[in-house]
Structure 1
Amino acid sequence: MLKAIIFDLYGTLIDAEGLFYEVSNLLSKKTSKNVEYIEKEVLNLYSHYFKDYYLKEFKPEKYYYKMLFNEIIKKYNLKEDAKYYIDFMYESFSKLPYFKDIDYLNEIKKKNIYVSILTNADSYFVRKKINSSQIYYEDLIISEEVELYKPDKRIFELALQRLNLNKEEIIFIGDNLITDIKATKDIGIKSLRIDRKGKGDISSLYELINYI
């Protein structure tokens, strides 16, 4: 019997399209480069510095972002430090919108199914986003606070422990094939990949009605 659903956050409940647009726009003004050029540069550096970061010794995301922005600062001889850009970017992350189907969490609540949120993220912008909204959830696990990243099986085991449930009693919903879907299936947790372009198991939270 299904007793809980664990959700990834960014890309699953929150629309992370254009994740780096706001900080790229700021950098565009500082460097006199067009925003599309800067955004592409930020994305390329992100891919470089964050490659397999979740498989290494734990460091918060800001550790990798500091290296990313230090490279940009050095290249363009910018006067602000990395913290300035990280703080600005984290504020923009906290303002990214929920997907419109977020209201389905209330329907899950009506069915007496717990909702847990598990995210590979830093605390500041996650807490600010969650605290500024009224979405239903029972538990929130943030990687920075527990010093574990998906796909480490220990973070999923922690989620089960905090819910006091067995693997057979939950479903995990996420958008990432490696850190969400493969990771949970490898340890025997049922998972569904959400892709709002129709390339996953479900394309909307509303489709969860077929599983609960």
Structure 2
Amino acid sequence: MSTIKFIYFDAANTLIHKPELWKKINEVLTKYGHTVNAAELKKKHKFTSEKIKFPDNTSKDFYNIFNKELLSALGVNSNEEILNDIYNACTYLPWQKFDDVTFLKEIELPIGIISNFNSSLKEKINNIISVPFSEFIISEDVTVAKPDPGIFEFAINKIGLPPEEILFIGDSIFLDIEPAKKIGMKAYLIDRDNVYPTYQDRISSLEELKHLI
């Protein structure tokens, strides 16, 4: 019998995403004569996300740094023009929920969110996902961000449960899974695109939560 009494989730690219992102990046790359496989683009974007930490409030300067690193990983030389085009094409794309997020309605445990994001996240989530979250632990609000264990400790103290009774689901090994495990939480990587096929504590769909709780 499972001892899990509460589930925390990361938000961006765990519960919500920008599904048009890959198409828009590829359109810009094609414009400049580059052909990139969609799966490879997703993988390199993931690896770049592990390398460069997103701030609570992103800026054009940040995205130019991020996209320059991404293009380098893809073997594409960047310049101001291509970076500006990627920024303009991708920055204001709408967030949407992943299809498997509907499974959360079947979970009978209380759920919450731990996210590196700004204070607008709660409204975004409530507008996109019709499932009640009892806790929102947002880095801008608590002034500490993943992978700092302090944000996980704050989340644990907020609900008053021992860490071993809390499950955390996130899409980043470095930002989510490793720090959550270090303070005693149970943690699983959500890896829908099979980027880390050999990682042990991994699920490919939120529907697999039924086997963990």
Find the residue that maps to 1:5 and give its secondary structure. Answer: strand
Structure 1 residues 35 and 210: CA distance shift in structure 2, 3 A? same
Find the residue that maps to 2:15 and give its secondary structure. Answer: coil
Cα RMSD after superposing both structures? 4.1
Q: TM-score w.r.t. structure 2 length? A: 0.67
Find the residue that maps to 1:150 and give its secondary structure. Answer: coil
- Select 2:168's aligned residue among 166, 169, 172: 172
User: More helix by proportion, 1 or 2?
Assistant: 1
**Deviation per residue, 1:76-119 (Å, 9 max, x gap):** 565xx97x975763421x33x422221121111xx2x1111122
- Partner Cα separation in structure 2 for residue 67 and residue 202 of structure 1: 31
Establish whether residue 53 from structure 1 lines up as the match of residue 53 from structure 2. Answer: yes
Cα pair 1:170 1:190 within 8 Å, conserved? yes
4+ residue runs of structure 1 moved beyond 6 angstroms?
A: 43-50, 69-72
Aligned 1:49-88 pairs, distance under 5 A:
51-53=51-53, 60-62=57-59, 64-65=62-63, 67-68=65-66, 78=81
Question: Which segment drifts farther, 129-138 or 166-175?
Answer: 129-138
Residue 150 of structure 2 corresponds to 154
Structure 1 residues 70 and 191: CA distance shift in structure 2, 3 A? closer
- Select 1:114's aligned residue among 102, 110, 114: 110
Q: TM-score w.r.t. structure 1 length? A: 0.67
Structure 1 residues 128 and 142: CA distance shift in structure 2, 3 A? same
Cα pair 1:50 1:64 within 8 Å, conserved? no
> What percent of counterpart residues are identical?
30
- Partner Cα separation in structure 2 for residue 168 and residue 46 of structure 1: 28
Residue 207 of structure 1 corresponds to 208
TM-fit CA distance, 1:185: 1.1
- Partner Cα separation in structure 2 for residue 36 and residue 185 of structure 1: 35
Residue 127 of structure 2 corresponds to 132
Cα pair 2:56 2:118 within 8 Å, conserved? no
